[in-house]
Amino acid sequence: MCKIMVMAGINNKNRKLAIEFTKLMAKQLTPGNSDGLGYAALNTKGELFGERWLNNSDAFVNRPMNQSLTKEESLLVDKYKGFLIPDVPAPVYNSFGKIDEDNIAAITLHTRLATSGKEFINTHPFVLDETSLIHNGVISNASDLKMIQSTCDSEAILNEYVENRVMDKPENIRKVANKLQGYYACGVFSKPRSGGNILDIFKDSRAVLEAAYIVDLRTIVFSSRLADIRAVCSQMGMEVGRAFKVSDDMLLRIDPISGDVLSTQKFKSVGYTQYTYRSATFSKEERRELRRRYNQLAKEQTNPDDGPTKGQEPVSYFDVYDGSVRAWERD
C-alpha cells in the first residue's frame, strides 16, 4: 500500500521540529513505497504549495530541472500536428505555489507504491484549483469515474470531492463515498467559498489510518502506521503520547492553521467489488516487476485465492503467487 502522513497546527514554537519530523517521515515511509513522493502544505496565510519527486531519494534534497521545448521546437511540433514526438526526458520533479517552508502551518505527505503507471503524472498530491489530495488505497471502479490529469485512481477521488463541493458542504462526502468502490484514506486541503482554509481527513471502513499525539510537537500526527511515527520520534528523541485508531466511515474537518477541530461527518462506504483471477502471460520484464511488487505486499496477503483482502492493495490487479502470474479482474 502507499503511505501517508498528515499534520496540522504547526507554529513558530514547533515548526523547526515539525519540518525535521516530516523529512524523516519521508524516509521512513519510502521502503516499499518508492514509486514517487510528494507533499502539499499551507503557510500561515493559507496559501497552498507543494512539491513532487518521481525518485524518493531526491525528496527535499534535489530539485532537478526538467527539460522543456524551446519556442521554436514547440512551433515545429504544432506544425506537424502531433506526428512528431519530441525526444525530451520525462519530468522527475515539479512544484506548485510558492514554496514557503519557513511558514508552514500544515502538511500532507505521500509515498507511492504504484498500482497504475509508474509515471510522474501519477505522483501525489493531485491538485485542482485550490484543492489538493493525497490518498492511500485503491479505487477499483476508477475507470468509471473522471480522471483528467493522470491514470491514477486517486485523482478520481479529488474530482468527485470538488464536483460535489465537499469543501462547502462536508455532508456531501456521502455522495462521494457512494461513488467509490475499493478502500481509501485521504488528506485534503481546500478553501470553502465562505473563506478560510480547511483540512479534511477521511477514511472508509477498510483502509488503515492511525494517529498519535506527539508531546514535543504538541499536536496530533496521522499516518498509515503508528510504528512509523514511533520510529521517527525515537530517532529525534521525542515523546509519543497517546496513540489512537481513526474511526471508520468518518470525515474529520480541521482548521489547518490552528489545528482546531471544526466538525465531523459520518458516511457509509461501498467497499470492494468482487474479484476473480485468470491465468495471464507476461514478458520476462513484466514478471520480474510483478514479483518485486508481490514480495513487498506478501506479508499482508493471507490467501491469494480470496482476491484482495481487507487492508490489501492489489497491484494494478496483478499478483504473483508461488511462481505463477495471476491477474485479478472485476466480476
The domain limits of the chain are: 3-266, 275-330
Identify the pLDDT of residue 90.
75
Comparing C-alpha atoms, which of 204, 214, 196, 172 is closest to residue 270?
Answer: 204
Grid coordinates in use for 55? 525518485
Comparing C-alpha atoms, which of 132, 188, 140, 154 is closest to residue 2?
Answer: 154
Q: What is d(CA 76, CA 86) in angstroms, rounded to the nearest whole number?
A: 10
From first to last of its 331 residues, what are the pLDDT tens digits of the chain? Answer: 799 999 999 999 999 999 999 999 999 999 999 999 999 999 999 999 999 999 999 999 999 876 677 778 878 877 887 787 777 777 899 999 999 999 999 999 999 998 777 889 999 999 999 999 999 999 989 989 999 999 999 999 999 999 999 999 999 999 999 999 999 999 999 999 999 999 999 999 999 999 999 999 999 999 999 999 999 999 999 999 999 999 999 999 999 999 999 999 999 998 765 443 444 555 666 666 666 666 665 545 444 434 444 444 443 334 333 333 344 433 3
Q: What is d(CA 70, CA 64) in angstroms, rounded to the nearest whole number?
A: 18
Identify the pLDDT of residue 271.
77
In order, the DSSP letters of 191-248 are --TTSS-EEEEEE-SSS--EEEEETTTTEEEEES-HHHHHHHHHHHTPPEEEEEE--T
Grid coordinates in use for 88? 525530451
Grid coordinates in use for 189? 486541503
Comparing C-alpha atoms, which of 312, 289, 205 is closest to residue 250?
Answer: 205
Whether the CB-CB separation of 87 and 34 falls below 8 Å is answered with no
Q: Which CATH number fits domain 3-266: 2.60.40.10, 3.60.20.10, 3.20.20.150, 3.20.190.10?
A: 3.60.20.10
Angle at 301 between CA 295 and CA 303, to 5 degrees: 125
Q: What is the largest CA-CA distance in the chain?
A: 63
For residue 79, give the amino acid letter: K
For residue 278, give the amino acid letter: R
Q: How many residues does the chain have?
A: 331
Identify the pLDDT of residue 283.
62
Identify the pLDDT of residue 130.
95
Identify the pLDDT of residue 284.
65
- Please write the tens of the pLDDT for every residue from 248-293: 999 999 999 999 999 999 999 987 654 434 445 556 666 666 666 6
- Please write the tens of the pLDDT for every residue from 225-252: 999 999 999 999 999 999 999 999 999 9
Identify the pLDDT of residue 316.
39
**Sign of the dihedral through C-alpha 45, 48, 52, 56:** positive
Q: Torsion angle of alpha carbons 202, 206, 209, 210, nearest 10°?
A: 120
Whether the CB-CB separation of 57 and 111 falls below 8 Å is answered with no
